[in-house]
Amino acid sequence: MNSKRSVLVVFALLALVATSVPLIGQRFRSRFMEPGMGFADPDVRAEFFFTRLAYSGYGGGRRGRSSWTTDWPQADYHFMQGVRRLTGIDAAEGGRFVQPVDDEIYEYPWIYAVEVGNWVLSDEEAANMREYLLRGGFLMVDDFHGGYEWSDFMESMQKVFPDRPVVDIPESDALMTIVFDIDQKIQIPNVGYAQRGVTWEREDGFPAHWRGIYDDEERLIVAINHNMDLGDAWEHADYPLYPERFTSLAYRFGVNYVVYAMTH
């Protein structure tokens, strides 16, 4: 972490963000959950919630869930523990979820969408996502691989922003230094690396790409983690066979995304 930055300034900016909106819609329960995991109760108040995008699409997640719940709740829970320890942000243990057309989406500065190679946004959903992002929201997408899933992701993303290019995030972007100085972009694999020893999930899923979409003020509004699985790195942070170097990088990038979203 760069010692020249004032953590107090960051915290003062974070304090301006209010994210105390009641949970809406369905709740989930799992025999794999530990106390504090899962979605937050409606009366929970915090500066920051891990907020998942409950998108429409195809393809099923694990244990009969939808793709957007992949790695839930362990990834959300473990990552929020790291956010609290590493930044001092008042991050809730339980998360939230929002659908693309929900009015409540505007209450959350940072939204996470997983396995977006499976999402299918309607014109209405895309229009509301565009409005959310241009008003100051931030979308992080994760865990999709190869050319086929990229094509499906972009089919909906181009409905959101038909006139904004997807570009590589430059080393000079504030994202790369806002909390942690990130000087490496190694591929972050899923937990299968522990058994298979390879970092990619598809034959054409290498190398990793750290891409984004910017608004007219050069603010990063969509962070695109292609051919990577940060969610697995968070979920398996306590798994001895999953290498620490991957988890550490996933936490550094994740924390930078969160603080960037809450201060830009």
* Per-residue pLDDT reduced to its tens digit, 131-190: 999 999 999 999 999 999 999 999 999 999 999 999 999 999 999 999 999 988 899 998
For the domain with range 7-263, which CATH number is right: 3.40.710.10, 3.40.50.12140, 3.30.70.20, 3.30.2010.10?
3.40.50.12140
CA distances from 83 to 49, 77, 91, 263 (A): 11, 10, 7, 15
Mean pLDDT of the chain, nearest integer: 84
Look up residue 168 and give its two tokens: 């590589």
Cβ atoms 124, 155 nearer than 8 A? no
Strand partners, 247: none
pLDDT at 208: 92
pLDDT digits (tens, 9 = 90+) for 205-253: 678 999 999 999 999 999 999 999 999 999 999 999 999 999 999 999 9
pLDDT at 33: 39
Domain boundaries, the chain: 7-263
pLDDT digits (tens, 9 = 90+) for 47-106: 999 999 999 886 554 444 589 999 999 999 999 999 999 999 999 988 899 999 999 999
Predicted TM-score (pTM) above 0.85:
no
pLDDT digits (tens, 9 = 90+) for 91-100: 998 889 999 9
